[in-house]
Amino acid sequence: MVETAFRQLSDKLDKWLQDAVLMLPNLAAAIVIVVAFWIVARVASNMVARLLRRATSYGEINTLLTRLVFFTTLAAGIFIALGILQLEKTVTSLVAGAGVLTLILGFAFQDLAANFIAGILLQLRQPFRQGQLVRTNDFYGTVEHIDLRNTIIHTLTGQIVHLPNKEVFEHALENFSAAGRRRVDIPITVPLGHDLDGAERVTIAAVETVATRDTSRPVEVFYDGIGEDSIGFTVRFWIAFGDRESDFLVARGDAVKSIKRAFDAEAGSRPGTLEARPAEPDRRASPAATPVDGARDPH
């Protein structure tokens, strides 16, 4: 029995050796095919990367497509090599296994896949770019980076927020930089007995002295309502705006100071109040309005 077992083992090894010798040409050809396709994959991915850099500025998508070209080309070479080695069943099993694995991973990482797809769509649609000032999901700040999973925002208070792309894609987004200009609203109150035409005239003249004002658009005044002892109106003007919130804050501050000085300097005016409440879009994050002494009583 031992001799029979050794004989069977020897026969099996001899057969494997003979098959290996017979397969040597195919094995060499398969290795050459894999190496050739690896070289082709490198060349093709480099060419695609250069073309994409010239055509688009979507860095993450460019990297994704470049890697996809590389691995697809290399996988094609591996499948051809397996076919040369007469391992077609192995190829079929690998393809089936890859399909099942993809399905399992798809269910296991639904949120990750959703963020990945949302990241691609955001970079294709480009509702905002790096460096722009945006508000989304109750976060207000400058876009630091956009990748295929997260949008990173540097808030005005100094925090770094990593927002999943799915949340950014599905919720409302305000882009304060895209239009290139921004409106400044300053609510003002004056006593009931004050000359409204005079207050309006003084206010407009004061705002027109703001250095950063967009002179192509007029200063506007809109009355809000009548209180028990005061009348409220809002003065509105526009400024050129890029990516810095400080440009908006400085323009608003300059306008408030200019109006205060104009009210103080108005001949024959009477005591009133100049209420510099924050204007949109910062109302939710700003403290309560602070009244500032304004006009004087002509009587």
Residues 1 and 139: their CA atoms lie apart, in Å, by: 80
281: preceding bond cis by omega (within 30 degrees): yes
The reply to whether 128-175 and 181-296 are identical in fold is: no
**Annotated domain spans of the chain:** 2-108, 128-175, 181-296
Domain boundaries 2-108, corresponding CATH code: 1.10.287
φ, ψ dihedrals at 252, nearest 5°: -65, -40
Say whether pTM exceeds 0.75.
Answer: no
φ, ψ dihedrals at 27, nearest 5°: -65, -45
Q: Which of 274, 275, 278, 276 is nearest to 266 (CA)?
A: 274
Is the separation of the CB atoms in 184 and 251 below 8 Å? yes
Tell me how far CA of residue 106 lies from CA of 58, 72, 259, in angstroms: 25, 20, 61
Residues 282 and 233: their CA atoms lie apart, in Å, by: 19
- 181-296: which CATH topology? Alpha-Beta Plaits (3.30.70)
Residues with Cβ within 8 Å of 238's Cβ and at least 6 positions away in sequence, in order, are: 181, 182, 183, 184, 213, 214, 217
User: In CATH, what is the architecture of 128-175?
Assistant: Roll (2.30)
Per-residue pLDDT of the chain (299 residues; tens, 9 = 90+): 666 666 666 666 666 666 665 567 777 888 888 899 899 988 988 888 888 777 666 666 677 778 888 888 888 888 888 777 777 676 677 677 767 766 666 665 667 778 888 888 887 788 888 889 999 999 999 999 888 788 999 998 889 999 999 999 989 999 999 888 999 999 998 888 778 888 889 999 999 999 999 999 999 999 988 888 888 999 999 999 988 899 999 999 999 999 998 888 874 544 444 443 333 444 433 333 333 333 333 33
Q: Which of 205, 263, 203 is nearest to 235 (CA)?
A: 203
